[in-house]
Amino acid sequence: MIEAQIYAARRILVVGAHAFDAEVIAGPLAFAAAAGGAEVTFLHLTMGEQGHRCLSASLYAEQKRHEASAAAKRLGVSWLSLDLPDAFLPADEATALSVCDVIRRLRPEIIITHWHGSWHKDHRAASDLTKTGVFYASLPTLERDSPPHSPSLLLFGENWEDDEGFQPTYLVDVSTGFAPWREAAAEYELARGLSSFPYLDYYSALYRLRGCLRGTNYAQAFAGTSHSWNAGAGLFMPPAQPGPRP
């Protein structure tokens, strides 16, 4: 079962376009994995500093850094940011190489990011940057500060803004992480009512719905990669030994 692979991982990286995205696409899972001994890191590509009605971008970015730290502490995870510009997240080679460098440095077995089907341009960019970063991180001849690394599993989380064509491949039991996630999410003003969108209500109901289908109290949905990606992820591994002839 996919849960066995996820919860056996020693290192997990969750890549979000903005601070708070990683928390909703994998927050409950992150707590459950971290409680089991995994090193979980949230990579916020931007702080999401353009999203406040009253505060300037610089002031809101500073507020969100405090919120991200408080949320991470409740979930038992670490976080870092590339501090790229919100609403203008560049989907270019330089940024993909920056993501590659994070992957190589942290060496996660599992990476989770946005589903590509989104009306939000930063979310689409984050998905593409992560996929390209994974590709660059695996290239043995690409010289960077850290050696090559290829994760064993790439997943795409469920986000209300990324629903175009999203079909769950896996439903993962995150029941132990639900209550800590609600406390962590509430550290963000965005979740407490800054936006007209009822984040806590929506995701609480969504995780419960997925749990009903999974047969647990709460679950999170993830889309997987294609069989071709699964095969390609092993391109730079030593050749498989041939089995015995029948």
The sign one gets for the Cα dihedral 190, 216, 219, 221 is: negative
Residue 54 within any structural domain of the chain: yes
Within 13 Å, how many C-alpha atoms sit on residue 188's CB side? 29
Residue 36 lies in a domain: yes
Asked whether residue 238 is assigned to any structural domain, the reply reads no
What are 14's two structure tokens? 């969750």
Residue 246 located in a structural domain: no
Q: Which residues contact 56 (CB under 8 A, 6 or more apart)?
A: none
Q: What is the pLDDT of residues 88-101, one digit of tens each?
A: 999 999 999 999 99
| Residue 7, helix vs strand vs coil | helix
CB 107 within 8 A of CB 11: yes
pLDDT tens over the chain, length 246 residues: 799 999 999 999 999 999 999 999 999 999 999 999 999 999 999 999 999 999 999 999 999 999 999 999 999 999 999 999 999 999 999 999 999 999 999 999 999 999 999 999 999 999 999 999 999 999 999 999 999 999 999 999 999 999 999 999 999 999 999 999 999 999 999 999 998 999 999 999 999 999 999 999 999 999 999 888 777 776 676 666 666 665
The CATH number that applies at residue 152 is 3.40.50.10320
Q: Which two tokens stand for residue 32?
A: 């459950």
pLDDT of amino acid 151: 96
CA pseudo-torsion sign 88, 112, 150, 127: negative
Read off the amino acid at residue 195. S
Strand partners of residue 41 = 13, 78
Confirm if 177 and 76 have CB atoms less than 8 A apart.
no
The number of angstroms, rounded, from the C-alpha of 31 to the middle of its chain's C-alpha atoms is: 13
Q: What pLDDT, on the 0 to 100 scale, is given for residue 230?
A: 75
Chain centre to alpha carbon of residue 80: 12
The per-residue pLDDT for 232 is 75
- Domain boundaries, position 187: 2-232
pTM, whole model, 2 decimals? 0.95
Q: Does residue 241 belong to any structural domain of this protein? A: no
Q: Please write the tens of the pLDDT for every residue from 167-224.
A: 999 999 999 999 999 999 999 999 999 989 999 999 999 999 999 999 999 999 999 9
Question: What is the number of domains present in the chain?
Answer: 1
